Structure 1
Amino acid sequence: LRAAFLAAIQGKQVAVVVPTTLLARQHMRSFQERFEGWPLKLRQLSRMVTAREAKDTKEGLASGDIDLVIGTHALFSKDVSFKDLGLVIIDEEQHFGVGHKEKLKELKADIHVLTLSATPIPRTLQLALSGARDLSLITTPPIDRLAVRTYVSPFDAVMIREALLREKYRGGQSFLVVPRIKDLKGLEEFLREEVPEISYRIGHGQMSPTELDEVMNGYYDGRFDVLLATSIIESGIDIPSANTMVIHHADQFGLAQLYQLRGRVGRSKVRGYAYLTTSPKKLLSSNAEKRLAVLQSLDSLGAGFTLASHDLDLRGAGNLLGDDQSGHIKEVGFELYQSMLEEAVAALSSEVGEAESLGQGQFAPNINLELAVLIPESYVQDLDLRLGLYRRLGQLDEAGSVDQFGAELIDRFGPLPPEVDHLLRVVKLKLVCRSAMVDRVDAGPKGVLIGFHEDRFPNPAGLLSFIDQSRGMLRLRPDHRMVVGKSWVSPLMRLQGLQQLIEELAEVARIEQAA
C-alpha cells in the first residue's frame, strides 16, 4: 500500500496484479479504504467487471487518467497499455509464469517490480539467494496471532464431523476444500448426510461472477457455516471468523498450495485448525508423503520462507534464463551450480571488477591423472555425510587446511584408503596449480600436458629459462601448452613428481608478481 501510494502520488501509474477475481475484489476494497480522501483514481480489471467498465478502464490507463489498477491476468492482454507505468506489484507471485511477469517489465525499461509471496517458487527464491534480486523477509506475525494446528490423517467421517461442529459451536466458520470440481458432489453428500446440523454453500471457478460474488458475500457476512470450495480460495482470502479447514485429498496439492490454503484460517486471535486428509485406500507417493510431513512439521508462524527452501530442495531451482520455474540442475549438481552462479553475479556487480574476478585463484584447474580420487562408500557409509565432506574439501584454500582435513578423517573414520589419499593430494595439487596459473593437467603413460590459464604465464622469460634448465624434459608447444616428457613408475609417483614440478613453476610465477 505504501509503495503504491508513493508511486501514484508522484504521477506514476501503478498496476497491482493478483491471481484470482476474489483477491482482486478484496484488494480493491482495501485500497479504496486506505486512499479515501486522496486525489487518486482507482479501477479494477477482471472478469467480475462489466464490459463497459473494462473498456473505460483500458482507455483511462492509456490516457493516464487512472492512477492505480488492480487486476487479474486481464492486465496481460494485448489491448491493455499504460501511459506512464512506474510500479508493478505482483501479489501471490507463485501463481504467475515467467512470461507473464516479463511481459509487464517489457512495457518500460526502468519499471520497478515488487513481488509478494508467502511461499516463493524455487526459481524466484534462487534468484534472491544468488543475489540477482533483492530479498526482504517479514518474519514478525501480528500481535496475538496463534499458529495453526495441523493434522495429517486418512479421511475419517467422525473426526471431520466433530471438527466442523466444534467450529460452529464456538461461533466460527469452516472451509472444506477439494482439488477438483468433480470432487464437490461427494463432499456435498457427506455434509448433507453426516453433518445435517450445519449450513453450507459451494464455490468454484466455473460459477458465474454474480453467483460466486453472492456466495462469497454470504460467507463474509457469516450467513452459513461451511464453504465447500476448490482451491479458488487459496490466494489471499481474509475472513477472520473462519478458523477450521479440512482439505480433502491433500496429497493432490503442491507444498506451496497447502501452505497457502492453511493460511486462510487462524487469521484472528482464535486458534486455527487444519486437517489434511488422504484417501484410506490409496498408497501415497514418496513425494506426497514428504510434502505432508514438511507441512505438519512447519507449524510455526512465518514458516513460509523455510517451506519455500524445502520446496527448492525437493523440486530444484529451475532455469534462471528460461521459462522453467522448478527443476534440478542435473549436469553440474546444485552446489557447483550455486558456486558458478555466485561468481557470475559477483563479476557483473559493481562490487567486484572484471580484472579481479578473472585474476589469480578465480579458476578451477582440471586435473586428469588416471587415478581413483573419491571417498568410497566402504570408508564413509552415510551419503549425506560424504556429500558434506566433499563440500568442505571444495572450500579449502590452503595446503595446511587439507592436511588438517586428512588428520580429521583418520581420527573419525580410520586410516585413509588409497582413493582418499589420492583425493587429498589432488586437492593440494589444484591449490598450487592456481598459484602457477596452470588450469589443466592431462597425464598419460609417457608424459604430461600442462595448460596455462588463458594461455598466459605471469613470467614468460622465467618460464623459458625454467624450460632450458630442464635438460630436455620440458618443451613448449606452439599452442602455449607445456609437455613434460617423463614417465613415472606409478600413478602415485607421477602425482608426487607433478606436485614438485608445479611448485617450482609457482615459484617462477611469484618472482614476476613480486617484481
Structure 2
Amino acid sequence: FCVVPRIEDMGRMAERLAAIVPEARIAQAHGRLAPTELERVMTEFGDGRHDILLSTNIVESGLDMPAVNTLLIHRADMFGLGQLYQLRGRVGRGKQRGYAYLTWPPNHRLSGAAEKRLTVMQTLDSLGAGFTLASHDLDIRGAGNLLGDEQSGHIREVGIELYQQMLEDAVADLRADRGRRTAGERDWTPNISLGLPVLIPEDYVRDLPVRLGLYRRIGALASDAETEAMAAEMVDRFGRLPEEVENLLAVVTLKRACREAGVEKLEAGPKGMVLQFRGNAFSNPAGLIGWLGTRAGQIRLRPDHKLAIVREMDVAQRLRTAREVLANLNRIAQQAQAA
C-alpha cells in the first residue's frame, strides 16, 4: 500500500512511484470512485494483478489482504493517531513480516501534536496497545468539550473524569446492571458548563500516566476536605496550582453540591446562568418559592422549571454565583429533610 492524505496528492505520487519502480503495476483507489469501479480495483489488487495500491486512507479498515506486507504513508504528519494505527494494521496480517514506513518532508517543521503522534506510533508494539493509543489520543486530540461552551474537541477544556463516568455508565447499561435498580438509586453525574478551562496542563504535569491518574483521583473526590488535601498534595509535588487546575477542583466541588441539591445541569456564560433540577423537581418546592421571593429580580423560576439568572458575569462571578446559589438550594433541601 502507498497511502496519501489527499486525492490531489495521488497524481504526483503516482509519477514518483513510476519513476522509482518503472516495472510496477500501480492501481489507484479513493473515495470519489464509483462503488463498482472501486470494487473492481480492490478485487484486482487482491488477485495480484497490481503490485502497488496507491490510495487515500479509505484502506484503513475493513481490508484483510495477508499477501500485503509493506505500507508507505506519505505525509504521515497529516494523519490522526487513530488513522495511523489503523493503517499500520493493514500489513503483516499473514505469515510475512509487515513493514510500515511513515514519511514527511525532510525540511518540514512538524507541529507539536504531529510530532507526538509519530512518536507514539513508535511505541505501540505490544498487546494492549489499543488502550495506550486511546490514552495518548485523548491527551493529544481530546474527547470533546463536554462541559464548556465550545465543542473544541480538547480534553484540555474538560478533564477526563466526566468522560470516564459516562463510559462507565454506558458499560453498566450494556451489562444490564442498572435494570435491577430503581431510577432513584441510579448513579448520575451533574453536567456543568461554565465556559472556563478545566484541566491539568501538560507543562504542569508532563508525564501522561501521572496526569491520567490525577484526573481519576480528582474525579473521585468525595468531600471538601479531600479536595483541599488533593490541592495541597499537587502543590507539594508539582508547585503552585495553575488557574486551570484551580478551576478543575472548583468544578468537581460544584458537582458534589449539584448532586446534593438535585441539580442535574448548570450552565453559565457571560450573560447569565441556568440551573435545571433532576426530573424538573425539587425536594422542597415551598421553601424554594419562598427563597425566590426574597431574590426578586435576581433569580427566577421559568415556566420550564429551570432557575435563571440574567446578568453579565465574568468567570470569577460565575464560580461565585454558582457556589452561592447551590449553597442556598442545599440549605432549603435540608430544611425539607429535617421536617
Query: What's the TM-score bracket when you normalise by the shorter of the two chains?
Result: 0.5 to 0.7
Please tell me the root mean square deviation across aligned C-alpha atoms, in Å: 5.8
- Structure 1 pair 350–294 and aligned structure 2 pair: CA distance change class (3 A): same
- Structure 1 pair 340–331 and aligned structure 2 pair: CA distance change class (3 A): farther
Q: Secondary structure at the match of 1:227?
A: strand
- Structure 1 pair 510–339 and aligned structure 2 pair: CA distance change class (3 A): farther
- For residue 241 of structure 1, the aligned residue among 55, 67, 79 is 67
Are residues 1:334 and 2:159 paired?
A: yes
Identity %: 46
**Deviations 1:23-67, CA, capped at 9 Å, x for gaps:** xxxxxxxxxxxxxxxxxxxxxxxxxxxxxxxxxxxxxxxxxxxxx
Residue 256 of structure 1 aligns with an amino acid whose one-letter code is G
1:244, 1:265 within 8 Å by CA — same for their partners in 2?
A: yes
2:73, 2:101 within 8 Å by CA — same for their partners in 1?
A: yes
Give the whole-Å Cα distance in 2 for the aligned partners of 1:414 and 1:209: 58
CA-CA distance at 1:193 after TM superposition: 3.0
Are residues 1:350 and 2:176 paired?
A: no
CA-CA distance at 1:220 after TM superposition: 2.5
1:204 corresponds in structure 2 to 29
Residue 478 of structure 1 aligns with an amino acid whose one-letter code is G
Give the whole-Å Cα distance in 1 for the aligned partners of 2:38 and 2:255: 66
- Structure 1 pair 332–230 and aligned structure 2 pair: CA distance change class (3 A): closer
2:122 corresponds in structure 1 to 296
- For residue 479 of structure 1, the aligned residue among 283, 291, 301 is 291
CA-CA distance at 1:273 after TM superposition: 0.1
CA-CA distance at 1:274 after TM superposition: 0.5
1:317, 1:327 within 8 Å by CA — same for their partners in 2?
A: no
Give the whole-Å Cα distance in 2 for the aligned partners of 1:432 and 1:224: 64
Give the whole-Å Cα distance in 2 for the aligned partners of 1:210 and 1:358: 50
Please say which structure displays the higher CA radius of gyration.
1
Residues 288-327 of structure 1: pairs in structure 2 closer than 5 A: 288-300=114-126, 303-318=129-144, 327=152
CA-CA distance at 1:246 after TM superposition: 1.0
2:96 corresponds in structure 1 to 270
| Equivalent pairs, count | 270
- Structure 1 pair 329–456 and aligned structure 2 pair: CA distance change class (3 A): farther
- Structure 1 pair 180–351 and aligned structure 2 pair: CA distance change class (3 A): same
Residue 179 of structure 2 aligns with an amino acid whose one-letter code is S
2:87 corresponds in structure 1 to 261
Give the whole-Å Cα distance in 2 for the aligned partners of 1:394 and 1:222: 54
Give the whole-Å Cα distance in 2 for the aligned partners of 1:177 and 1:429: 48
Structure 1 residue runs without a partner (length 5+): 1-174, 365-376, 440-452, 464-475, 484-501
2:29, 2:53 within 8 Å by CA — same for their partners in 1?
A: no
Are residues 1:282 and 2:94 paired?
A: no
Q: Which has the higher helix share?
A: 2
CA-CA distance at 1:413 after TM superposition: 7.4
The alignment's TM-score, normalised by the length of structure 1, stands at: 0.38
Residue 250 of structure 1 aligns with an amino acid whose one-letter code is A
2:65, 2:93 within 8 Å by CA — same for their partners in 1?
A: yes
Q: Secondary structure at the match of 2:113?
A: helix
Q: Secondary structure at the match of 1:246?
A: strand
CA-CA distance at 1:188 after TM superposition: 3.1
Give the whole-Å Cα distance in 1 for the aligned partners of 2:222 and 2:79: 45
Q: Secondary structure at the match of 2:103?
A: strand
1:179 corresponds in structure 2 to 5
CA-CA distance at 1:428 after TM superposition: 10
The alignment's TM-score, normalised by the length of structure 2, stands at: 0.54
Q: Secondary structure at the match of 1:259?
A: helix
CA-CA distance at 1:243 after TM superposition: 0.4
1:204, 1:230 within 8 Å by CA — same for their partners in 2?
A: yes
CA-CA distance at 1:275 after TM superposition: 0.4
- Structure 1 pair 258–400 and aligned structure 2 pair: CA distance change class (3 A): closer
- For residue 54 of structure 2, the aligned residue among 210, 213, 228 is 228
1:112 corresponds in structure 2 to none
CA-CA distance at 1:212 after TM superposition: 5.1
CA-CA distance at 1:240 after TM superposition: 1.5
CA-CA distance at 1:298 after TM superposition: 1.4
Structure 2 residue runs without a partner (length 5+): 192-200, 264-277, 296-327
Give the whole-Å Cα distance in 1 for the aligned partners of 2:43 and 2:88: 21
Residue 353 of structure 1 aligns with an amino acid whose one-letter code is T
